[in-house]
Amino acid sequence: FLTSSMHIGALRWHFLLQSLEDLHKNLGQLGSCLLVIQGEYETVLRDHVQQWNITQVTLDAEMEPFYKDMEANIRRLGAELGFEVLSLVGHSLYNTQRILDLNGGSPPLTYKRFLHILSLLGDPEVPVRNLTAEDFQRCRAPEPGLAECYRVPLPVDLKISSESLSPWRGGETEGLQRLEQHLTDQGWVTSFTKPRTIPNSLLPSTTGLSPYFSMGCLSVRTFFYRLSNIYAQAKHHSLPPLSLQGQLLWREFFYTVASATPNFTQMAGNPICLQISWYKDAERLHKWKTAQTGFPWIDAIMTQLRQEGWIHHLARHAVACFLTRGDLWISWEEGMKVFEELLLDADYSINAGNWMWLSASAFFHQYTRIFCPVRFGKRTDPQGNYIRKYLPILKNFPSKYIYEPWTASEEEQKQAGCIIGQDYPFPMVNHKEASDHNLQLMKQVREEQHR
């Protein structure tokens, strides 16, 4: 089911399987267990409803088109086979349909209007309480051997490499530990503002909880209310859209807009997206994806993404701008597909929404702001420690050359043990010329479509 809707890379599969294994272990401590059945969901339900005497099927009420289709099919099956279908809003803070109903379809939902509607709705529903051992006492114990028959698959069962280099481990247990670790520093929580975090710090300068929310290991409502309690005890705290709660509301905003927008993950037929004649260049796209652009800051980010499955949001801004309106003028859809494959927190609504935003195709209109692939990283990491970690071929360059190694003399390149054009590529574009040219293209596109 997942592979028919998304292209998921090995790291995300590892994270998912670890999450399921953790869930299985935690359910075991409550006297229950997790049975994982593989197959087409309609066939699986038909086979097991009567065999196991299933009377109720529950699922998250989702916003994405393929999940909506699945829910409709399951409801149809329930009517046919005689089981109840219970779907509850759990993956988001609010019921997105209520927000859309209050907006009334017009005017278009901006972030400012979205926040106004939330103020009318009040706080999201309180999190559902955690299940306890008593909740499972009425459940039938599975037949002997059933748990082994329907165990959580191993990577080898899914023909995935058994090695995972990512430092991120899936599961509720790990997610809760990260949550507690961040919430102990209440000063950091109350003063958090998104722009002040550092994209090239060697440890995440944000919470790093997004993979756990994306996979359902952590409840966003639990996080929202834990933050509310900390804010209530503080004299001052940061506010949306820059605060930690503000980050959850951005997530909510993209879910809401995506649920109401046809063809949200593509340009054609997408009513909120600028229609742009992007270049089709498979070779340039491949260089960007495989960290061969010749700009160390960009290549280090793409290397971290491939190795670990996570990069800071400002690092995402940098590589997205470089691929689209900044330097290569390649469609945001291509970048979105790469992120979908490589990111642990890849998400239909947020991934597409951010790519439209960063390519200035929707939402964001300050398109004259273009990230420099040299200066942007240098501002927060002048010594280039991030580049030295992810591009060890450049680690011996002096700091003054680490972001622009092609400016070092031949002798200095030899001393660093890396010849540009041989051991590491020359820049694939002249940033100044490319960005100036693309800025003119963008101005032209926007003027034409405004008319």
DSSP string, 241-294: TTSHHHHHHHHHHHHHHHHHSTTTTSSTT-TTS-----B--HHHHHHHHTT-SS
Average pLDDT over residues 158-168: 84
**At 204, is the pLDDT very low, low, confident or very high (cuts 50, 70, 90)?**
low
Instruction: Summarize pLDDT for 427-450 with one digit per residue, the tens.
Output: 999 999 999 999 999 999 999 988
Note the pLDDT of residue 5: 65
CA-CA-CA-CA torsion sign (341, 345, 348, 350): negative
Instruction: Summarize pLDDT for 381-418 with one digit per residue, the tens.
Output: 999 999 999 999 999 999 999 999 999 999 999 999 99
Letter string b/e over residues 195-205, b meaning 16 or more CB atoms within 10 A of that residue's CB: eebbbbeeebb
**Structure token digits, residue 297:** 């800051």
Packing angle of the helix pair 332-342, 348-358 (nearest 10 deg): 140
Residues with Cβ < 8 Å from 91, sequence gap 6 or more?
60, 62, 216, 220
Letter string b/e over residues 263-290, b meaning 16 or more CB atoms within 10 A of that residue's CB: ebbebeebebbbebebeeeeebbebbbe
84-88 and 56-60 beta bridge pairing:
parallel
Query: Which range, of 233-247, 260-274, 303-317, averages the lowest pLDDT?
Result: 233-247
Instruction: Summarize pLDDT for 316-359 with one digit per residue, the tens.
Output: 999 999 999 999 999 999 999 999 999 999 988 999 999 999 99
Q: Is the pLDDT of residue 36 over 70?
A: yes
Residue type, 293: T
For residues 88 and 60, is the Cβ–Cβ distance under 8 A?
A: yes
**At 106, is the pLDDT very low, low, confident or very high (cuts 50, 70, 90)?**
low
| Domains identified in the chain and CATH numbers | 95-128+173-260 (1.25.40.80), 282-450 (1.10.579.10)
Q: Is the pLDDT of residue 207 over 60?
A: yes
Query: Which range, of 107-121, 138-152, 336-350, 373-387, averages the lowest pLDDT?
Result: 138-152
CA-CA-CA-CA torsion sign (241, 355, 209, 295): negative
Q: How far from chain centre, in Å, is Cα 382? A: 28
Q: Is the pLDDT of residue 131 over 80?
A: no
Note the pLDDT of residue 203: 62
Q: Is the pLDDT of residue 380 over 80?
A: yes
**At 208, is the pLDDT very low, low, confident or very high (cuts 50, 70, 90)?**
confident
Query: Which range, of 153-167, 192-206, 306-320, averages the lowest pLDDT?
Result: 192-206
Instruction: Summarize pLDDT for 71-82 with one digit per residue, the tens.
Output: 999 999 999 999
* Residue numbering of the annotated binding site: 206-210, 247-254, 345-347
Q: Is the pLDDT of residue 1 over 60?
A: no
Note the pLDDT of residue 195: 63
Q: Which of 17, 8, 14 is nearest to 152 (CA)?
A: 17
Residue, of 233 and 5, whose pLDDT is higher: 233
For residues 207 and 244, is the Cβ–Cβ distance under 8 A?
A: yes
Q: How far is Cα 177 from Cα 406, in angstroms, rounded to an integer?
A: 43
Q: Is the pLDDT of residue 211 over 90?
A: yes
Note the pLDDT of residue 264: 94
* Residue numbering of the annotated binding site for FAD: 206-210, 247-254, 345-347
Residue, of 145 and 75, whose pLDDT is higher: 75
Residue showing tokens 């694939």: 428
